[in-house]
């Protein structure tokens, strides 16, 4: 078992707080809490929350999951918290407008596979899975008033996203202020020693969570704030489901492989660091190899894609995904893979309805947007009419969405 100093070094690696003093305080508090827990003969209670605003987690979420895994490997009690109640509002952090509100039914459906996705990183046998509607749904209006009395409106309005909206005359809805309060109560309900989160969670963890715990007689949790965020497929903006630049953990192997291959070359270092956990020396060698021309960015990206698909699927899936990639993009062919799923069509059917039925798009509006961008093709010809149909006498035909999603439509009779 590592010493307390060794644990602190491991657990504080990769963290950042915006100022050295805060990091110094969190480091000191973590050491003190580890000493106290050792004296009491118990592990630290650690958690991170994930809001099921959509049905899939993505590679960006695995940054905090890997930190949770470190806590597990050191023998601590880790909770994977599914934000079934906080999702009804949605985290306003870094958002320049209010999120759409979800129904409880939508949240429950989205949350259905969250734990299974998390077990790609976390140890299934050592992970406690909870949903925060367990305690948040039981609070009454008097409870909310009591909890809210610990904060001022000014504390919330100084947050960058709220102050920006205020300056620009954009609305800030009252329910958005409740999110930090709700997340703070998550820490209270679990009597948490540690909460892990990203940079966008600084306020919720450092201010809301710690303040509520102190107000209710608990020791304030230690904030483990990860210093770097994973850029999305655009290579610029933090990976986000709402922005559509994410790589879902539930993506099919060939789609995951293709999304990694679409990353800009400049993301190679940070993906190797945050997703594969490469050491500083390994990253230095990669950087120098790319700069000198000894290593080719495309070959390194292909190796990265294979490793990522292997992590979230398996080696056979990674090999098949690369084979499909080679068929489409490296063989000089027509860009259509030989191997693809088949779907029987027995009567005239709108292409848009086929896409929705086969989950090749998330919504009709996405399909229409892709049509305007020539992103949907039938036998390699753009489909631009949302009312366009496929009839049995047109089959077989290949329906394509973007560069990586294909289905062969065949006669269903």
pLDDT at 96 over 50: no
- CA–CA separation, 315 and 22 (whole Å): 42
Query: Does the pTM exceed 0.75?
Result: yes
Set out the domains of the chain in order of their start, with CATH numbers.
4-225 (3.40.50.620), 253-330 (no CATH), 342-411 (3.10.290.10)
Tokens of 234: 């655009």
Q: Where residue 98 falls among pLDDT bands split at 50, 70, 90?
A: very low
pLDDT at 99 over 60: no
Greatest mean pLDDT among 53-57, 227-231, 322-326 lies in 227-231
Q: Where residue 20 falls among pLDDT bands split at 50, 70, 90?
A: very high
- Tell me the helix, strand and coil percentages in the chain, rounded to 5: 50, 15, 35
Q: H or E stretch including 364?
A: helix 364-372
Task: Provide the percentage of residues in the chain whose pLDDT is more than 90.
Answer: 50
Tokens of 28: 């000191």
14-24 average pLDDT score = 93
Q: Where residue 94 falls among pLDDT bands split at 50, 70, 90?
A: very low
| Lowest pLDDT segment from 60-64, 209-213, 368-372 | 368-372
Q: H or E stretch including 22?
A: helix 20-40
Q: Where residue 155 falls among pLDDT bands split at 50, 70, 90?
A: confident
- By C-alpha distance, which of 202, 246, 208 is closest to 227? 202
Give the tens place of pLDDT for each residue, 315-351.
999 999 998 888 777 655 556 776 678 888 888 889 9
pLDDT at 354 over 70: yes
């Amino acid at each position: 078992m590592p010493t307390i100093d060794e644990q602190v070094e491991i657990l504080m690696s990769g963290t950042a707080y915006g100022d050295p003093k805060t990091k110094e305080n969190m480091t000191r508090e973590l050491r003190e809490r580890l000493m106290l827990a050792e004296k009491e003969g118990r592990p630290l209670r650690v958690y991170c929350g994930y809001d099921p605003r959509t049905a899939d987690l993505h590679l960006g979420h695995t940054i905090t999951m890997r930190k949770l895994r470190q806590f597990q490997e050191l023998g601590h009690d880790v909770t994977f918290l599914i934000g079934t109640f906080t999702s009804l509002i949605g985290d306003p952090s870094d958002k320049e407008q209010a999120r759409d509100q979800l129904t409880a039914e939508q949240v429950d459906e989205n949350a259905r596979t969250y734990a299974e996705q998390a077990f790609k990183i976390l140890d299934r046998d050592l992970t406690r899975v909870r949903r925060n509607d367990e305690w948040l749904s039981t609070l009454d209006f008097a409870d909310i008033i009591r909890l809210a009395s610990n904060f001022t409106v000014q504390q919330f309005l100084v947050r960058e996203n709220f102050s920006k909206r205020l300056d620009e005359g954009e609305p800030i809805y009252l329910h958005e202020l409740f999110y930090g309060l709700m997340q703070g109560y998550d820490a209270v309900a679990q009597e948490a020693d540690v909460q892990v989160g990203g940079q966008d969670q600084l306020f919720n963890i450092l201010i809301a969570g710690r303040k509520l715990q102190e107000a209710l007689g608990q020791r304030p949790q230690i904030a483990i704030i990860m210093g770097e965020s994973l850029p999305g497929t655009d290579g610029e903006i933090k990976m986000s489901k709402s922005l559509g630049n994410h790589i879902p953990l539930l993506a099919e192997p060939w789609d995951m492989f293709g999304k990694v291959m679409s990353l800009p070359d400049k993301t190679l270092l940070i993906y190797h660091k945050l997703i594969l956990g490469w050491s500083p020396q390994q990253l230095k060698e990669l950087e120098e190899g790319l700069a000198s021309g000894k290593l080719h960015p495309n070959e390194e990206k292909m190796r990265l894609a294979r490793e990522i698909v292997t992590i979230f699927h398996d080696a056979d899936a990674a090999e098949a995904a690369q084979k499909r990639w080679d068929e489409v993009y490296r063989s000089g062919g027509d860009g259509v893979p030989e191997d693809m799923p088949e779907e029987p069509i027995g009567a005239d059917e709108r292409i848009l309805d086929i896409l929705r039925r086969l989950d090749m798009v998330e919504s009709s509006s996405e399909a229409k947007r892709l049509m305007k961008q020539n992103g949907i093709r039938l036998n390699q010809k753009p489909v631009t009419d949302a009312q366009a149909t496929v009839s049995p006498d047109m089959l077989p035909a290949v329906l394509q969405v973007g560069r990586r999603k294909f289905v062969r439509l065949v006669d269903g009779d």
